[in-house]
Structure 1
Amino acid sequence: MGYDERFDLRATVGEDDSLHDECGVFGVWAPGRDVARITYFGLHALQHRGQESAGIAVGNGRSVLVRKDRGLVSQVFTDADLSALNGKAAIGHVRYGTAGGGGFDAAQPHFSLIDDVTIALAHNGTLVNTTGVRRELVQMGVPFRSETDSEVACELIGYFTKKSGHLRVGIRHAMQMIEGGYAMVLLRENALYAFRDPNGIRPLVIGALGTEGWVVASETCALDIVGATFVRDVRPGEIVRISDGGILSEQGLEPRPEAQCIFEDVYFSRPDTVIRGRSIYSMRYEMGRQLAREAPVDADLVIGVPDSGMPPAEGYAAQTGIPFGEGLIKNRYVARTFIQPTQEMREMGVRMKLNALSDNVAGRRVVMVDDSIVRGTTSKQIVRMLKEAGATEVHVRINCPEVKWPCFYGIDTDVQRQLISANKSVEEVRDYIGADSLAFLSLEGLRRCVPECGYCDACYTGRYPVRIPEAFSAGKFLDGFAPTFPYDDGEEASVPPVEDVRMDAPRD
């Protein structure tokens, strides 16, 4: 497909061109332990999933206390904060906002009163059908502090809990009303809950902390840092309750065809995280080997773009026999800032985070391996940087297919015109970024490198596991792109009005 005039890079030059997951969640039930500090360290392990805000809520048997703010985990919490958060259970959240904007009110956990009971909720993912539900709740007098879909879920749970008198019933009925990708942890004063969308799009795992404690988290790396042992995934559609009575599980929704986000394997998850018995590092290493089989090139040096490009670069080098080396140095002290940058700072772009190592690349033909190309601005700057450092050729290899379709389930690419591969051919992208050659890993090749299971690969294929309401997707697709949905009969599923939902009895 040729250039589309609606694809305009000028607005994004110098801005962060990486894909971002919306957030990471963590929960712990450990009476007698310092649950606030356990959560603090768990959030540190998940910091890569969100740097906009952080928050912790603690249940002490009588009430729920919440501390949250904008910034990194280490910026939000002091030792005094953690000392004041005493309790038997806690949940935590790190956020990169993709739905509902930023600011303090968008920081999580969200908290809400259900009569005299306080709940706090933390959410990873995006809900696609909350516009109408939010409008109904507002008309019913429910106040909102933010525009986030997560707060809609929190208030919906509160509404159904008041109506039924049981929190698990409230969660179950809320799950029947919401659509999208989600992994949520919820806290009340004396119990911890974890639940997940019926397709399993967003990840959530359970770990054992000693003999009487439990942890839930977005990734296994967060279990490792607090000394917990992986037990299993939270199943798609499952609700898990942890309290003094132990663990109780029920199927809140019948599971649908599994569709876990394949970008967790490609980019989002930390290399030391384990999914279905395999480390993310080993998967990315094999992606590099497969990429070398599909798109070899005659070169002198293979380098990776830190950090997620390093394992596939190692695999590419191992498969081809070309030496692997360091060609880009990352400034690990650059964090997200809330200070509005000047135009001069924007033009510095990637140089604030990366710099070329001329000693290694000068006079050499370089293979640069990276995890993805989204808008193309970052790749363009890195290629130019390497050539200015003396590289005679720069061959770009991407360890995933072309990102052509927007994501609506928790990644910040919900507008197709932002995506360079939806607007340009591979050769046009190569020309735009200034590379001597460019190749992407095939979808079939990627599938060979990850565990066998059901995946959401909509960003590559346009096959979405959950139907996107037209009100949510309006203006998000380019002309000529027709997404497909499961069991597609051309009709959107109808959701009954909130007030008309009939309550069922609690399950033992």
Structure 2
Amino acid sequence: MIFDITSDKLHEECGVFGVFSRQDPAVAITTYNGLFSLQHRGQESAGITVSDGKVMDVKKGMGLVSHVFRDGVPSQQGHLSIGHVRYSTTGSSLPVNTQPLLVSYAGGQISLAHNGNLTNALKIRKQLEAAGSVFQTTMDSEVIVNLIARSGQSCVEEQIKESLAKIEGAYCLVIMTKDKLIGVRDPQGFRPLCLGKLLNGYVIASESCALDTVGAEFIRDIEPGEMVVIDDNGVTSHFLTKKAPKALCVFEYIYFARSDSRMDGQSVYQARLAMGRQLARESKFKADLVISVPDSGTTAALGYSSESGIPFAEGLIKNRYIGRTFIQPEQKKREKSVKMKLNAIRSVVKGKSLIMVDDSIVRGTTSGKIVHLLKEAGATAIHMCVSSPPITDPCFYGIDTSVRKELIASTKSVEEIRQFIGADSLHYLSAEGLCQAIKGVPSKDMCYACFTGRYPGCTPNDEDCGGNKYVFEQH
């Protein structure tokens, strides 16, 4: 039995990175450094493809970036490279499903890395299989390269545009030919993607924090529905034919993105501080200390402390040397496993009433264990604050959420959840408060479906909606 303390969190799918530089012979190293800064977006596998203009070479495997490339990045020198870190939302966590994909077709070689989830991929895959296409993975991403290979257009840009016209759902792509780097963001912009400038080249990345890591200057966010092409002629911009309302995932600001990133003009750190301040204004809880569930609740907890005047303290310590999962074969050990990931600082919390801030409650199991842990350490009261509204509905756009019945807020009221986790009080940030906190992006341009059940794309009853990550292994 594998117990994962992060199982009570939402999980992002992937991070993508690409670099084009004629003057940098070590683009694979640049890609490695970029992926390292995007590791929070996926920890199951990693990969890098490099091109010298004639030959492409890919190296990928299961595990963290540091593990996959412990013996070095692809040895080939080149001026083009793309990379990928993965958390699976469609297709099992298996070596065959690692990215980037590298394929050969009539137009040459192409390598692709994908962040997101395609909501009509099963339908298209069945059509392609019926027409003779062969698939080697169980990922929705492979549908895209098959569509590109079957396109009747003469240049790769038009092949991509024709293929993506058939696709629905969320996708940020970095695509590499032997001499071009291409970045594409879906028409609704569910996932972030940005463009940066190196001294002698360009970078495309899921988040701006990756640009900082490799010394690239942030140019701008890639627009929803935009395809950016980088080659020896510089940067050109094209737009897909589909038009749709913007729907950037609000959880990028709440949890997924690194705090030092900026997305669509909004500082993630400042948004999270504002969420904490708004929580303080809404809840009006009184206590001796504000603490966070590290690390996801820390910035909001600092905002709560600043607004309320209640001191912030480290009440919980995170063991940073434990991987995402660890084996706990006996039930008694599983019940104590939270202590391997988090431990209460008894000298801080004993005899104190606490306001505990976290970003979300998914199933409620981990929150309950943390409340119990703090009370065991002598805390007199736990007032829990959550910097997002209750999660009542699953996501179909690139987040591995539970089925609806496993989301605690879909079946229980706030009071019932409070009782379930054992907290003395519980307050969720209101939807209105969340909108106010993210001042840089209009609420109409974001997706709130996990809180409202109002989906900007397909409906959850559609066969292809992506609610089952193993759909291609079962059809």
**Would you say same fold, with TM above 0.5?**
yes
Deviations 1:51-99 (A, max 9, x none): 00000011110121111100000000035434x0321111100001111
Retained in 2: the 8 A contact 1:261–1:457? yes
Aligned-residue sequence identity (percent) comes to 48
- Written as runs of structure 1 = structure 2, the 5 A alignment for 1:389-408 is 389-408=377-396
Counterpart of 2:198?
209
Retained in 1: the 8 A contact 2:165–2:242? no
Equivalent position to 1:122, from 113, 125, 136: 113
Is residue 95 of structure 1 aligned with residue 86 of structure 2? yes
Counterpart of 1:164?
153
Task: Give 1:127 shift.
Answer: 0.4
TM-aligned CA distance change 1:199 to 1:474, over 3 Å:
closer
For residues 300 and 268 of structure 1, what CA distance do their matches in structure 2 show? 30
Code of the residue aligned with 1:47 in structure 2: it is Q
Code of the residue aligned with 1:372 in structure 2: it is S
For residues 132 and 328 of structure 2, what CA distance do their matches in structure 1 show? 40
Is residue 195 of structure 1 aligned with residue 184 of structure 2? yes
TM-aligned CA distance change 1:346 to 1:166, over 3 Å:
farther
Structure 1 counterpart SS, 2:458: coil
Deviations 1:145-180 (A, max 9, x none): 1111111112212221xx223211111011111100
Counterpart of 2:308?
320
Task: Give 1:428 shift.
Answer: 0.4
Counterpart of 1:30?
21
TM-score, normalised to structure 2's length?
Answer: 0.94
For residues 60 and 219 of structure 1, what CA distance do their matches in structure 2 show? 26
For residues 328 and 43 of structure 2, what CA distance do their matches in structure 1 show? 17
Equivalent position to 1:109, from 79, 97, 100: 100
Code of the residue aligned with 2:73 in structure 1: it is D
Counterpart of 1:47?
39
TM-aligned CA distance change 1:435 to 1:66, over 3 Å:
same
Task: Give 1:15 shift.
Answer: 6.5
For residues 234 and 446 of structure 2, what CA distance do their matches in structure 1 show? 32
Retained in 2: the 8 A contact 1:207–1:231? yes
Counterpart of 1:271?
259
Deviations 1:101-124 (A, max 9, x none): 110111111121112611111011
Retained in 2: the 8 A contact 1:191–1:242? yes
Is residue 150 of structure 1 aligned with residue 150 of structure 2? no
Counterpart of 1:423?
411
Task: Give 1:363 shift.
Answer: 0.5
Detail structure 1 runs of 4+ shifted over 4 Å in the superposition.
10-15, 473-476
For residues 226 and 316 of structure 1, what CA distance do their matches in structure 2 show? 33
For residues 475 and 136 of structure 1, what CA distance do their matches in structure 2 show? 20
For residues 385 and 85 of structure 1, what CA distance do their matches in structure 2 show? 51
TM-aligned CA distance change 1:164 to 1:275, over 3 Å:
closer
Is residue 174 of structure 1 aligned with residue 189 of structure 2? no
Task: Give 1:331 shift.
Answer: 0.9
Cα RMSD (Å): 1.8
TM-aligned CA distance change 1:475 to 1:459, over 3 Å:
closer
Deviations 1:428-481 (A, max 9, x none): 0000000000000000000001123210010011111112361135988xxxxx
Structure 1 counterpart SS, 2:238: strand
Counterpart of 2:55?
63
For residues 99 and 373 of structure 1, what CA distance do their matches in structure 2 show? 23
Task: Give 1:189 shift.
Answer: 1.1
Structure 1 counterpart SS, 2:126: helix
For residues 409 and 365 of structure 1, what CA distance do their matches in structure 2 show? 39
Task: Give 1:14 shift.
Answer: 5.8
- Written as runs of structure 1 = structure 2, the 5 A alignment for 1:443-482 is 443-450=431-438, 451-453=440-442, 454-468=445-459, 470-473=462-465
Is residue 371 of structure 1 aligned with residue 397 of structure 2? no
For residues 279 and 269 of structure 1, what CA distance do their matches in structure 2 show? 10
Counterpart of 2:472?
none
Retained in 2: the 8 A contact 1:36–1:56? yes
Task: Give 1:352 shift.
Answer: 2.3
Code of the residue aligned with 1:400 in structure 2: it is S
TM-aligned CA distance change 1:265 to 1:132, over 3 Å:
same
Structure 2 counterpart SS, 1:397: strand
Structure 2 counterpart SS, 1:471: coil
For residues 138 and 343 of structure 1, what CA distance do their matches in structure 2 show? 44
How many residues in Structure 1 have an aligned counterpart in Structure 2?
A: 462
Code of the residue aligned with 1:202 in structure 2: it is R
Task: Give 1:140 shift.
Answer: 2.2
TM-aligned CA distance change 1:207 to 1:14, over 3 Å:
closer
For residues 281 and 320 of structure 1, what CA distance do their matches in structure 2 show? 19
Counterpart of 1:252?
240
Equivalent position to 1:72, from 54, 64, 82: 64
Counterpart of 2:341?
353
For residues 280 and 467 of structure 1, what CA distance do their matches in structure 2 show? 28
Code of the residue aligned with 1:126 in structure 2: it is N
Counterpart of 1:183?
172
Retained in 2: the 8 A contact 1:309–1:371? yes
Task: Give 1:341 shift.
Answer: 4.4
Counterpart of 1:21?
12
Retained in 1: the 8 A contact 2:221–2:263? no
Counterpart of 1:299?
287
TM-aligned CA distance change 1:376 to 1:58, over 3 Å:
same
Counterpart of 1:413?
401
Code of the residue aligned with 1:142 in structure 2: it is S
Deviates more, 1:249-258 or 1:93-102: 249-258
Counterpart of 2:275?
287
For residues 170 and 114 of structure 1, what CA distance do their matches in structure 2 show? 12
Structure 1 counterpart SS, 2:78: coil
Is residue 224 of structure 1 aligned with residue 215 of structure 2? no
Retained in 2: the 8 A contact 1:52–1:336? no
Task: Give 1:342 shift.
Answer: 1.9
Deviations 1:23-57 (A, max 9, x none): 10001111131110000000010000000000001
Structure 2 counterpart SS, 1:284: helix
Retained in 2: the 8 A contact 1:370–1:398? yes
For residues 328 and 311 of structure 2, what CA distance do their matches in structure 1 show? 38
Code of the residue aligned with 1:285 in structure 2: it is L
Structure 1 counterpart SS, 2:17: strand
Structure 2 counterpart SS, 1:125: strand
Retained in 2: the 8 A contact 1:111–1:154? no
Retained in 1: the 8 A contact 2:383–2:424? yes
Structure 1 counterpart SS, 2:7: coil
Task: Give 1:385 shift.
Answer: 0.6
